[in-house]
Amino acid sequence: MRWWWLTAALLPVEFGLLLLLLRPLLVLATLPLNAATLGLPTLLFNGFILYLTAATSRVVNIDNLGYAFLGLVVMTAVNGAVTGWLGIDDVYPFFQTILRRVGRRYGPRARPGQVRGLLILQVDGLSWRSCERALRRGRMPTVAGLRALGTHRLHRWHCGVPSNTPAVQCGLFYGARTRLPGYRWYDRRRRRVLVASRAEDLRDVEAEVAGGAGLLAGGSCINSLLSGGAAKRLMTLSALREPNDRRRPDERADFSLFWLSPFAYTSAVSSALWDFLTALSWNAQARFHPRKRVIRRSLRQAAMRAVGNAFLRETSHFWLAQDVVRGVPVIYSNFVGYDEVAHHAGPDTDEALATLTGFDRKLQKLRRLVRDAAPIDYDLVVLADHGQSMSLPLRTIGGETLEDLVARLAGRVRPVLPPRDSEAAYVGALLAELRDEGSDRRSWLAFQSRLTLERLRDDEPDHDAGVGEGTSLIVCVSGGLAHIYREGAPRPLRLAEVSSLYPGLVEGLACHAGIGFVLARDDDGSALMIGRDGVRNLDSGELRGESDPLAPYWDERRWTGELSALLSHPHAGDLIVNGALLPDRRVVVFEEQLGSHGGLGGPQTEPFILLPAAWRTRSEDLSSPEALHAHLKARLAGGSASTPI
What does the alpha-carbon distance between residue 362 and residue 359 come to, in Å, rounded to a whole number? 5
Residue 640 has pLDDT above 50, yes or no: no
What does the pLDDT look like over 104-131, one tens digit per residue? Answer: 666 676 767 778 899 999 999 999 999 9
Q: How confident is the model at residue 298, as a pLDDT? A: 74
Q: How confident is the model at residue 564, as a pLDDT? A: 95
Supply the DSSP symbol for 576: E
Percentage of the chain with pLDDT > 90? 49
Q: How confident is the model at residue 419, as a pLDDT? A: 56
What does the alpha-carbon distance between residue 150 and residue 157 come to, in Å, rounded to a whole number? 19
Q: How confident is the model at residue 403, as a pLDDT? A: 93
225 contact partners, CB below 8 Å, separation of at least 6: 165, 166, 169, 196, 197, 202, 236, 237, 238, 425
Strand partners for 233: 221
Residue 467's pLDDT band (boundaries 50, 70, 90)? very low
114 contact partners, CB below 8 Å, separation of at least 6: 327, 329, 376
273 contact partners, CB below 8 Å, separation of at least 6: 73, 306
Residue 22's pLDDT band (boundaries 50, 70, 90)? low
Q: How confident is the model at residue 260, as a pLDDT? A: 66
Sign for the pseudo-dihedral over CA of 82, 83, 87, 88: positive
Of 73 and 241, the structure prediction assigns the larger pLDDT to 241
Q: For 608-612, what is the mean pLDDT?
A: 97
Q: How confident is the model at residue 443, as a pLDDT? A: 37
What does the alpha-carbon distance between residue 601 and residue 579 come to, in Å, rounded to a whole number? 8
Residue 272's pLDDT band (boundaries 50, 70, 90)? confident
What does the alpha-carbon distance between residue 256 and residue 262 come to, in Å, rounded to a whole number? 13
Of 43 and 599, the structure prediction assigns the larger pLDDT to 599
Residue 26's pLDDT band (boundaries 50, 70, 90)? low
Residue 84 has pLDDT above 60, yes or no: no
Residue 423 C-alpha from the chain's centroid:
7
Q: For 34-40, what is the mean pLDDT?
A: 50
Mean pLDDT for the chain overall: 81
Q: What are the start-end ranges of the E strands in 5-151?
A: 116-123
Q: For 597-621, what is the mean pLDDT?
A: 95
Q: How confident is the model at residue 168, as a pLDDT? A: 96
Residue 447's pLDDT band (boundaries 50, 70, 90)? very low
Q: For 87-96, what is the mean pLDDT?
A: 54
Q: How confident is the model at residue 257, as a pLDDT? A: 76
Q: For 140-164, what is the mean pLDDT?
A: 96
Of 305 and 175, the structure prediction assigns the larger pLDDT to 175
Of 412 and 79, the structure prediction assigns the larger pLDDT to 412
Residue 537 has pLDDT above 50, yes or no: yes
Element (H, E) at 476: strand 473-478
Residue 445's pLDDT band (boundaries 50, 70, 90)? very low
Q: How confident is the model at residue 610, as a pLDDT? A: 98
Asked if residue 214 lies in contact with residue 230, where contact means CB atoms within 8 angstroms, the answer is yes
CA distances from 487 to 432, 507, 574 (A): 32, 21, 10
Q: How confident is the model at residue 40, as a pLDDT? A: 56
Q: How confident is the model at residue 642, as a pLDDT? A: 47
- Lowest model confidence (mean pLDDT) among 404-418, 487-501, 595-609: 404-418
What does the pLDDT look like over 188-209, one tens digit per residue? Answer: 999 889 998 888 899 888 988 8
Domain residue spans in the chain? 4-88, 101-388+603-637, 395-420+469-596
Residue 36's pLDDT band (boundaries 50, 70, 90)? very low
Q: What are the start-end ranges of the E strands in 92-177?
A: 116-123, 152-156
Asked if residue 240 lies in contact with residue 429, where contact means CB atoms within 8 angstroms, the answer is yes
Q: What's the one-letter identity of residue 23?
A: R
CATH 3.40.720.10 fits 101-388+603-637, yes or no: yes
Residue 20 has pLDDT above 80, yes or no: no
Of 218 and 449, the structure prediction assigns the larger pLDDT to 218
Of 441 and 60, the structure prediction assigns the larger pLDDT to 60
Q: For 214-221, what is the mean pLDDT?
A: 93
Q: How confident is the model at residue 65, as a pLDDT? A: 66
Q: What's the one-letter identity of residue 289?
A: H
Q: For 441-461, what is the mean pLDDT?
A: 47
Q: For 84-105, what is the mean pLDDT?
A: 58
Q: For 242-251, what is the mean pLDDT?
A: 66
Q: For 392-405, what is the mean pLDDT?
A: 92
Element (H, E) at 234: strand 232-236
With CA atoms as reference, report the closest residue to 427 among 280, 297, 599, 272.
272
Q: Read off the pTM.
A: 0.83
- Lowest model confidence (mean pLDDT) among 130-134, 204-208, 244-248, 275-279: 244-248
Of 632 and 259, the structure prediction assigns the larger pLDDT to 632
Please provide the size of the chain in residues.
645
